[in-house]
Amino acid sequence: MDEELTLDPIDWKALRLSFQIAADLCISNMEAVREGPVWEPTPDRVKAHFKEALPQEGASLNTLLRDFEENILPYGTGNGHPRFWGWVHGSGSAAGALAEMLAGFMNSNVGGRDHIANYVERQVIDWCKDIFNFPASASGILTSGTSMGTLIALNVARNEKAGADVQALGVSAGRRMVGYASAEAHGCNSKAFDLLGLGRQSLRMIAVDDRFRLKPETLRENISADKAAGFQPFVVIASVGTVNTGAIDDLVAIADICRAEGLWLHIDGAFGGLARLTGRFRAELEPMSLADSIAFDFHKWFHVPYDAGCVIIKDEVAHRGAFSARREYLQSTESGLAGGAPWFCDYGPELSRGFRALKVWFTLKSYGIKRLAALIEQNCTQAKKLEALVQAAPDLELCAPVHLNIVCFRMVFDKDGKATDALNKQIVALLQTEGIAAPSTTTINGETVIRVCITNHRTRSDDLTLLVSETRRLGVLINSQDVNLGA
Ligand SMILES: *Cc1c(COP(=O)(O)O)cnc(C)c1O
């Protein structure tokens, strides 16, 4: 008799063994992460390995694990390393990784229906409302990140403030809608404007002060000018932690303007928002509760494995109204598997969604808010230490005030601006390719700077001392080679 096919193994014992091998491999890698390079470029040989034809026959899990060990695991982003400080990356955690595997086994679809993953996600959303002091009646949904959270929030804001039924008729049904964010705000905001049919230029970039915070007075002037021109201002996006410098906008001033002008207040708190849990930033970030919506990430300063973000929205009815559009095959019932309304597909554009909430739940339960908050505060203290190290070095200069966890500095020799830009780019490239450290670069006031963003629970103060000494060593080296080449 012919065997009918399945993907399940014949040898369950061998399967258990494969899992043990995998766990050993990953845990050993995590345990020794400090000893290895921060990052290494993927060799051409390895890149070529991923140009194979579509596999017709299967291979054993143990074969694939060897492939993973040799060709995949060593060439990651490097954000698990204690000296990874590029862009804004979380550093991951064992509890989150374990939950990721468990979620794979459950294989839940959290678009809707009545099963436990929905209750876990609602639990996580309730905790988020607690963190930002949103009312119990608020709603929320876990997302791939702040980019998706922003798109969801701005869709709700657009529908609420359009003054016409743009949901049914499209944006041409109303006046041209415009919004505001600081010139330092993240690019996901203008992307959302584009995706919502509003146009990127409809997001006005408001000038910032010398601490890189949106200027409320300029915001007010822009709103008046737009109203006078017949446009429909609808949203202000306040940044809590900008990517370049970690600037936090003046939330009270912006909230006042929104209230007076009838605008939706959205906060981009991607990484900085969670600093609200620390003693140092509690008072400054208390007014986050004034927002109509907040988008933020678990995968940055809470170190939940990618991807995991969230958006919370104060007006649940507006939120559901923007996304609930179920057809006959998705009707809810009072009882049975089709019960448990409202469903998460009523709060966002996606129907099928994975069990992201499990890794967030594991992270929060496993480490507790006190420890996660202490690690955020520790990173801010480390940023202050790095600031002091930079200020003490005669050939380094600080390029932006250090408020949160980001330090922007550069090495300066007696050279013109272009040469100094090139020098600092080269320093960062060498720090990365030699596996010493991974800061990134950015442009501040037109100059290339070395940017260190500490969202890393493995960083120790010594790592920052090493960064400063290696930066200066490489800077001197590059500078002397330039001189030799020029001679
Ligand atoms: C990372 C980041 C975003 C985008 O978030 P994703 O999770 O990458 O989609 C938006 N705003 C700020 C300030 C960020 O740091």
How far is residue 21 CA from its own chain's centroid?
Answer: 31
Question: What pLDDT does 332 receive?
Answer: 82
Cβ–ligand 1 contact at 246 (below 6 Å):
no
Low-confidence stretches of the chain (pLDDT < 50) are 484-487
Residues 6+ apart with CB under 8 A from 243: 87, 88, 184, 186, 442, 453
| Tens-place pLDDT, residues 434-474 | 999 999 999 999 999 999 999 999 999 999 999 999 999 99
Beta carbons of 39 and 78 less than 8 angstroms apart: yes
Q: Is 88 in the pocket of ligand 1 (CB under 6 A)?
A: yes
Ligand 1 in reach of 297 Cβ (< 6 A): yes
Q: Is the CB of 270 under 6 A from ligand 1?
A: yes
How much distance in Å is there from the Cα of 297 to the middle of ligand 1? 7
Contact residues for 22 (Cβ-Cβ < 8 A; gap 6+): 65
Cβ–ligand 1 distance for 249 under 6 Å, the answer no
Q: At 234, phi and psi to the nearest 5?
A: -135, -20
CA atoms within a 13 Å half-sphere pointing along the CA-CB vector of 436: 20
Q: What's the gap in Å between 242 CA and the centre of ligand 1?
A: 9
Q: Provide the residue count of the chain.
A: 487
| Beta-sheet pairing, 177-182 with 232-239 | parallel
Distance of CA 289 to the CA centre of its chain: 20
Whether 268 lines ligand 1, by a CB cut-off of 6 Å, is yes
Q: Quick check: CB of 186 below 6 Å from ligand 1?
A: yes
CB atoms within 10 A of CB 220: 17
- Does the C-beta of 273 come closer than 6 Å to ligand 1? no
* Distance from residue 186's CA to the centre of ligand 1 (Å): 7
What's the 3-state SS for 344-382?
HHHCCCCCCCCCCHHHHHHHHHHHHHHHHHHHHHHHHHH
- The residue nearest atom 12 of ligand 1, judged by CA position, is 270
Global pTM value: 0.97
Q: Which own/partner pairs from 13-21 qualify as long-range (CB within 8 Å, at least 24 positions apart)?
A: 15/61, 18/61, 18/62, 18/65, 21/62, 21/65
pLDDT of residue 426: 97
Residue closest by Cα to atom 14 of ligand 1: 270
Token pair belonging to 195: 């995706």
380 CA → ligand 1 middle, Å: 19
Letter string b/e over residues 340-371, b meaning 16 or more CB atoms within 10 A of that residue's CB: bbbbbbbbbebeebbbbbbbbbbbbeebeeee
* H runs (alpha helix) in 393-456: 417-433
Instruction: Tell me the best of 142, 146, 293 to mutate to test the pocket of ligand 1, counting ligand atoms within 8 Å of each CB and taking the most.
Output: 146
Bridge partner list, 140: 312
* CB of 449 shorter than 6 A to ligand 1: no
Nearest CA, atom 7, ligand 1: 145
| Distance of CA 466 from the midpoint of ligand 1 (Å) | 28
Cβ of 146 below 6 Å from ligand 1: yes
pLDDT of amino acid 487: 34
- Cβ–ligand 1 distance for 309 under 6 Å, the answer yes
Neighbours of 261 (CB within 10 A): 15
